[in-house]
A = this chain, B = another copy of it.
Amino acid sequence: MNLKNQVEWALHCCAVMMALPEGVYLPAKVLAEFHGVPKEYLSKALQALSQHGIVIGTLGPSGGYRLARAPDQISFLDIVEAVEGKRSTFRCEEIRGNNPCVPRRHRAGKPCTVARIMWKADEAWRESLRGVSLTDLAAQLAEDVPDDVLAKSRAWLLERA
């Protein structure tokens, strides 16, 4: 059970886009080169973000992507769910319906205990991601990443925006 690598890419892209000045857009091509990932496939992830209203994409030269709202209004969960989907990781195949001792009653009934427990764990995962915003990420990054690397990256990106 693995998350798609697009999740990682999308998160990094959003982190990078926080540095954009008002009205400036970053093309997928640049984001792909910056992260060293295939442009075409990364585009799919960015389009997913766009469809979920997390980023805004504009066409034409000087077009590209930027965040659709303030970083403190974008959570990790928003981003993860945009590319990974909202469905629970636990798939219930209703195998209790195969129990030879159960006539019919149970089958269309409410989800069983096992499923509820698994879904609750899933919700705990989501809740954890819901609690972290891009602003939180930025604060941590400022501590972790040396200032010169941050500045150089910023300059590298703006040159190509």
Number of copies: 2
Q: Is the CB of A108 closer than 8 A to any CB of chain B?
A: no
In Å, the complex CA distance between A96 and B13 comes to 11
Could you tell me the distance between the alpha carbons of A106 and B144 in the complex, rounded to whole angstroms?
10
> Which of A2-10, A20-28, A54-62, A63-71 makes up part of the contact surface?
A2-10
A8-B76 contact, Cβ under 8 Å, with A1-B2, A102-B149? no
Q: Do B114 and A15 touch (CB < 8 A)? A: yes
* Interface class of chain A by DSSP: helix
| Docked pose: A23 CA to B120 CA in angstroms | 34
Q: Which residues of B contact A145 (CB under 8 A)?
A: 106
Query: Which chain A residues numbered 114 to 161 have a C-beta less than 8 Å away from chain B?
Result: 114, 116-118, 120-122, 124-129, 132, 137, 140-141, 144-146, 149, 152-153, 156
Residues of B within 8 A of A19 (CB): none
A8–B93 CB distance below 8 A: yes
5 A-B pairs, CB-CB below 8 angstroms? A5-B91, A11-B118, A112-B141, A116-B140, A125-B128
